[in-house]
Structure formats: C-alpha cells, structure tokens
C-alpha cells in the first residue's frame, strides 16, 4: 500500500455562480521515501494538489488515504493532528512569524505537539545548527537573508519529524545560489528518508526530483519517473525525529496557554498605539464604575454615619390619640411610666427631651435658641464632638449649676471674634408655662456660664426650626425653666444586642398595660434607618449600573479591534494551522489576547480611578472615598470577563478559518 493514494479525487469551487474544477478525477500514488515534483502552469491545479496532499484542504469527491486512513472523513482537529505529526511545509514566502526569533519559529510546531519548553528549544537549536544557522538562532526574520529564512522554515518543517516535506515553490523568492543550496538540502533530506513533494513551475527545479507529475486543467497530463525508486533510505528516518515527551491534557493546555500568552504579548507589543487606543475604552469604563462605586460608597457611609447616632438602636415614643375613640384624651408619660420602661431587659436608658423656646443674649447680640435639659446626648460621641471646654459632670447634673454647653453655630453668632468662650456669661430668657395654681405666665432671665462648646458630627442632628440648642443641666432646667416632670415624648435607647422589632413589642405591651389603652405612637428609628440604608444602596447600585454602560461600550470596542486583528493576521492563523494548531489552540490564543487587552485596560482604569478618588478626597473634607482591595479584585475580574465575553466571537471566527484560505490571504 502506498503512503499516499488518490482515487478519483476532485476539488471544485463555486465562484461567481459558476463551478471551477481545480482538480478533476485525479488518481495518484506516492510511496514513502519518494521525491516527487508536481509541475504545471498557473491555474493547472498544482497548488490545489499541494493543499490536498498536505491536509490543508479536503476533496470535493473521491478518496484520499494516508497510510490507509481516509482523510476525507476526518474533522478539522484530526487533520491538524496529521499535519502536526506527518507533514512539514516549506513555503515560497517562508511564512515565518515576524515577532519570533529563529529558534522560536522553528520550535513552534512542537508547542502544538505538547513538547516541553527546554526540550523543544534544544531540538530547534540542533536543527538550526545542522542547517548552518547555529549562530543566528536569536535573530528575527527581518534580520535574516532570504536563503537563511528558507532554511529556518525547513528546520521548522523538521521539528516534529517531517516525515513528508511539502515544498511550495521553495526557490521562487531566492537568488540562483541560494536556490541551488536549498535544492541540495532537500536532496539531502530525501537521502535521510523524508518523502519530498515539490511543487514548481520551473523544469530545472523539477529535475532534482526522482519523479515528475505534470498537471493541466486539473488533470494529470503525465507521470514520469526519472530515477529508480530507493525505499531503503527510510531506515535513516529516526535520526531526524524530535526527542519529545508527551504531556497530559491539563499539562498540554497549560503549555499552550503559556505560549498563547507570550504570543499575545508579542502581538500587542508589535502595535502599541492600537493597543493603547483599544484599552482606552475599557479603562474609561473601569474607571467610571470603580470611581462611582468608591464615591457612592463614601457618600453612603457618610450619610449612614450621620444618621446612625440619631436613629440606630432607638425607639421614639409620642403621645398620640389617633387610635382613641372621639373625645378621649391622651395621657402624658409620668416618671413612673419611664421608670417601668427603663426596667425592661434590653433597655439601656430612657431619654426625655425637655426643651423650651427662648433667646440667648450677650451684650447687644442675641439669638433664638432651644433650651434643652437633655444632657445625656452630649456624651454620645456619635453625635457631637467637644470643640472647647467640657460637657456636664454628674455634679453639674445634680447640683443645679447655672452652666451651659453651646454649639459651635451659636458661638459664632454670639462670640464672633472671641478666641475662647469658656468662662463667658450669657443671659438665657424664656417664658415659663402658666403656673398651675395661679394661672399666671412669667418671664425669666437666667445668667449662665459657658463651660463647653460642641460641634455636631451628624448633619442630621440639627434642631427643628433652625434654633441653635443650648444645653443646661437637667436639675437646672427643672428648677428654673419647667418643673413639670411629665413628658409628651421620650426616647428608648436599646442594647445593641437586642432586636428593635422585639423591643418595640415589649414597650408597646408595657405602656398599654400602664395606660389601659394605646394612647401613644412608637416610631422605630432602627427600621427607618434600615429603609434609608436600602435606598442609599439602591442608588449606589443604580449609579454603578449607569457607569457599567461605559464598560459595555469598551467591550464592543475590544471585540471590534479583535475582529480587525483576526483579519490582519489571517495568514499567521493559516501558518499556525499548517504546522499543527487545532481550532481550540487558535481560539485559546485569541481569547487570551482579548483577556490580556482588557486586563491592561482594567489596570489603566484602576490607575485613573485612583487619581479621581485622590482628587475628590483632596477637593473637600466631608467625603473620603477609597479604593478597596475588593474593588481592585472585582475590577480585574470584570475586565477578564469582558475579554472572555467580547473576545469569543473574534476567537471563534479565527478558529473556524480554513487553513488553505487563511494561507492564501494577503
């Protein structure tokens, strides 16, 4: 049985509505170790014949067998395996990858064969040494002469053994001396046991072959053997076989991924301006999303921090007759009520807001104020910070001291040019409630000493109506401003470990038992705080979603660039397929390139985000946005995901190219 057998093989193409018969019912046998020249004029079908013999194409009809295996029934990956294991191609234009040096160009077929790195480079260097290029292994194709490049392509053809060498017009781009040297090299390879199939239109080149097959109009015109066939030369073939160690599937995939990453880096580095412009869309999208998330998170934290001290862990109880029958009156909350509620498990304390409207006067300056006897709030660091002096001590609270703590806003109104206000005196004036015995209303003026100035941390802790708060000891407030111990409103401060919903039920049951009816209303501040959190979270997510549109635009840009890259590098894809790359290998290469492109854009976007966040933080003091490690990791993952998503179509298009069509593309 012959190594190659063609029986009635035809290859037809549909072109412009008509059928072109490139090969028409061809019968041909080629023995292992033969040296065959295929000749013919342009359009005779010799290139089509070479493509079929090299498994770059499949016949339209007929039977083509290689070592008894029907090639026409094989899929793309099986054909790639045949090319990788049996064939070596020598092209007229060399078809070397420009961004790889001679050693890497020679070693490339072994990558797809799963050969380990050190082993294939040693094999490539050995082949270059054998062909007289031992000192040129580190040079790229543009640094080599035409004859040297053709010898590199021959070394590449031998990398995986090159049982069958297919040479397509190998001397067409060489001068006479280089062409003659190449033909002698092919003759030597034939002597070493390689089957040589030479495609040429030059009769002088064909004279070097043992057998000449002439084609005309897709048919064999003549088949002449010039010298006797000597199959014994096959015994020398193992000397040219590569030293190769097989890898498991995972190891081969890792090897291919590493080589694809290297190829992607070389390809992106070869066109830096386009790479920069390609990453710009992704970088803008990543910068927009990360910056908006950082800023919205900082704003959300700022809002929640301001509101947490005011709302978190609190139940506010009001007198309310909404649920009472007509004519029924509400009852105020007595000290006994407050004491009973304060004894509930999970209640830290009860705060009663006792306040009166009045004015504060210093010399000719005065301001409307809210005189408050709720001194406990001053100890809550979540709401206030001490600017100057101090807050009340237990002695101040119980001794009826005529001292006050004012806020920073009132200080600026009453003491605009005073460096230190602690120790200064101001006059508090208010109208007392009617005396329950006499019914008379009296006004009082109480001189007090400023012992401290506080500043509101929470922007939410502003007095209703815009009046500045003035804090006095509770004992002073009860003696001088309002002696009524009952209250229409109070706040239950809860233990952080308690559920606000459960505590709301307990307070409701206790008050209903004390009053005999539900003449009150409970406002669960924690529940409202959670609603605010959900709203701010939804706003942050919405802003991030709007910014994500930029990511989609960037992803479409990457897909467009990758499609252009596939179009520009079609011949490179054909070269890789000719030397044994499977469709999955080509697909993996372009996917990795797309991911790398997006990852570079993501890193650039993170840099822009850092500058934006830094600038916003420096421009104002309230918001301090930061880039978290989580944001960096998520942005990198999103960039990779975009590369996979938008690189899939270009990668699939590259992988589905026909090797023969890809090699023919200029």
In-domain check, residue 256? no
pLDDT at 436: 55
Considering only CA atoms, which of 87, 84, 90 is closest in space to residue 149? 90
Pull the structure tokens for residue 616.
Answer: 């916003």
**pLDDT band at 612; cut points 50, 70, 90:** confident
The span from the CA of 553 to the CA of 555, in Å, is 5
Task: Give me the chain's average pLDDT, please.
Answer: 83
Whether 82 and 211 share a structural domain = yes
Whether 293 and 325 share a structural domain = no
Residues of the chain above pLDDT 70, percent? 91
Q: What's the Cα-to-Cα distance from 313 to each of 178, 499, 504, 536, rounded to whole Å?
A: 90, 9, 11, 19
**pLDDT band at 375; cut points 50, 70, 90:** low
In-domain check, residue 261? no
In-domain check, residue 251? no
pLDDT at 391: 86
Kindly report the number of other CB atoms within 10 A of residue 207's CB atom.
11
Pull the structure tokens for residue 611.
Answer: 């500058």
Whether 573 and 441 share a structural domain = no
Q: What's the Cα-to-Cα distance from 269 to each of 272, 276, 282, 554, 566, rounded to whole Å?
A: 5, 10, 18, 20, 16
pLDDT at 213: 94
Mean pLDDT of 545-566: 81
247 pLDDT higher than 70: no
> pLDDT for 476-490, tens place per residue?
888 888 777 788 888
Mean pLDDT of 268-274: 76
Domain boundary among 506, 524, 542: 524
Whether 360 and 240 share a structural domain = no
**pLDDT band at 374; cut points 50, 70, 90:** low
Whether 627 and 494 share a structural domain = no
> pLDDT for 203-242, tens place per residue?
999 989 999 999 998 999 999 988 777 654 443 433 334 4
C-beta separation of 520 from 303 below 8 A = no
Burial of residue 70 (number of CB atoms within 10 Å: 0-12, 13-18, 19+): exposed
C-beta separation of 80 from 655 below 8 A = no
Kindly report the number of other CB atoms within 10 A of residue 571's CB atom.
16
Collapsed DSSP state (helix, strand, coil) of residue 133: coil
Whether 327 and 395 share a structural domain = yes
CATH number at residue 176: 3.40.50.300
Whether 365 and 382 share a structural domain = yes
In-domain check, residue 385? yes
> pLDDT for 455-474, tens place per residue?
876 544 444 446 788 999 88
Indicate the pairing of strand 489-494 with strand 314-319: antiparallel
Domain boundary among 507, 524, 541: 524
Whether 376 and 479 share a structural domain = yes
Torsion from C-alpha of 156, 157, 163, 164, nearest 10 degrees: 180
Read off φ and ψ for residue 37, nearest 5 degrees.
-110, 130
The span from the CA of 252 to the CA of 599, in Å, is 24
Mean pLDDT of 178-196: 90
> pLDDT for 139-150, tens place per residue?
999 999 988 999
Q: The domain containing residue 232 runs over which residues?
A: 4-246
**What element of type H or E holds 428?**
strand 425-431
In-domain check, residue 635? yes
Whether 337 and 271 share a structural domain = no
Whether 512 and 547 share a structural domain = no
Kindly report the number of other CB atoms within 10 A of residue 109's CB atom.
30
> pLDDT for 296-354, tens place per residue?
888 877 777 777 666 778 888 888 877 777 777 778 888 899 889 988 998 888 888 78
In-domain check, residue 260? no
In-domain check, residue 220? yes
Give the count of domains, the chain: 3
The span from the CA of 87 to the CA of 165, in Å, is 6
Domain boundary among 475, 494, 524: 524
Considering only CA atoms, which of 308, 318, 330 is closest in space to residue 523? 318
Whether 290 and 353 share a structural domain = no
Whether 217 and 271 share a structural domain = no
Residues of the chain above pLDDT 90, percent? 22
Mean pLDDT of 168-194: 88
In-domain check, residue 258? no
pLDDT at 312: 74
């Amino acid at each position: 049985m012959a190594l190659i057998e063609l029986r009635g093989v035809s290859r037809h193409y549909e072109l412009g509505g008509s059928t072109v018969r490139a090969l028409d019912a061809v019968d041909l046998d080629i023995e292992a170790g033969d040296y065959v020249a295929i000749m013919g004029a342009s359009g005779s079908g010799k290139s089509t014949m070479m493509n079929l013999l090299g498994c770059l194409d499949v016949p339209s009809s007929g039977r083509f067998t290689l070592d008894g295996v029907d090639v026409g029934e094989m899929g793309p990956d099986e054909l790639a395996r045949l090319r990788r294991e049996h064939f070596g191609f020598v092209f007229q234009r060399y078809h070397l990858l420009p961004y790889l040096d001679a050693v890497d160009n020679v070693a490339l077929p072994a990558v797809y064969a799963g050969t380990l790195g050190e082993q294939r480079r040693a094999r490539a260097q050995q082949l270059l040494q054998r062909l007289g290029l031992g000192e040129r292994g580190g040079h790229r194709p543009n640094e080599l002469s035409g004859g040297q490049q053709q010898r590199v392509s021959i070394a590449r053809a031998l990398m995986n053994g090159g049982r069958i060498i297919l040479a397509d017009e190998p001397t067409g781009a060489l001068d006479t001396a280089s062409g003659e040297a190449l033909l002698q090299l092919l003759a030597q390879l034939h002597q070493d046991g390689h089957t040589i199939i030479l495609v040429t239109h030059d009769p002088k080149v064909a004279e070097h072959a043992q057998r000449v097959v002439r084609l005309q109009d897709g048919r064999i015109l003549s088949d002449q053997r010039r010298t006797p066939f000597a199959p014994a030369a096959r015994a020398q073939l193992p000397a040219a076989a590569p030293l190769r160690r097989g890898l498991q599937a995972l190891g081969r995939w890792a090897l291919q991924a590493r080589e694809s990453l290297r190829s992607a880096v070389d390809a992106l580095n070869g066109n830096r301006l386009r790479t920069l412009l390609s990453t710009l869309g992704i970088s803008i999208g990543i910068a927009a999303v990360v910056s908006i998330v950082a800023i919205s998170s900082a704003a959300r934290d700022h809002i929640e921090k301001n509101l947490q001290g005011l709302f978190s862990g609190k139940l506010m109880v009001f007198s309310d007759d909404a649920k009472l029958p007509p004519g029924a009156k509400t009852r105020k909350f007595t000290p006994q009520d407050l004491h009973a509620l304060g004894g509930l498990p999970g209640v830290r304390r009860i705060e009663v807001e006792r306040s009166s409207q009045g004015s504060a006067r210093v010399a000719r300056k005065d301001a409307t104020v809210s005189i408050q006897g709720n001194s406990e709030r001053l100890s809550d660091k979540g709401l206030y910070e001490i600017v100057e002096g101090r807050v009340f001590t237990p002695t101040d609270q119980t001794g009826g001291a005529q001292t006050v703590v004012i806020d920073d806003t009132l200080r600026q109104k009453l003491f605009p040019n005073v460096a230190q206000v602690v120790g200064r005196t101001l006059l508090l004036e208010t109208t007392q409630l009617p005396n329950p015995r006499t019914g008379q209303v009296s006004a009082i003026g109480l001189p007090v000493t400023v012992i401290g100035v506080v500043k509101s941390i929470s922007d939410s802790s502003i007095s209703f109506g815009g009046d500045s708060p003035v804090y006095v000891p509770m004992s002073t407030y009860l003696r001088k401003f309002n002696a009524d111990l009952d209250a229409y409103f109070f706040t239950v401060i809860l233990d952080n470990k308690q559920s606000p919903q459960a505590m709301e039920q307990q307070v409701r049951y206790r008050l209903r038992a004390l009053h005999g009816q539900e003449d009150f209303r409970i406002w669960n501040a924690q529940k409202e705080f959670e609603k605010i959190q959900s709203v701010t979270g939804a706003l942050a997510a919405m802003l991030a979603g709007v910014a994500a549109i930029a990511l989609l635009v960037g992803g479409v840009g990457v897909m467009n660039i990758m499609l252009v890259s596939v179009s520009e590098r079609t011949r490179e894809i054909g070269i890789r397929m000719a030397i044994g790359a499977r469709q999955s290998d080509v697909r993996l290469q372009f996917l990795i390139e797309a991911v790398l492109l997006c990852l570079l854009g993501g890193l650039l976007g993170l840099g822009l985000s850092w500058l934006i966040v830094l600038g916003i933080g420096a421009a104002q003091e309230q918001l301090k946005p930061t880039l978290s490690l989580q944001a960096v990791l998520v942005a990198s993952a999103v960039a990779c995901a975009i590369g996979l998503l938008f690189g899939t179509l270009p990668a699939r298009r590259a992988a589905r190219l026909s090797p023969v069509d890809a090699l023919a593309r200029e």
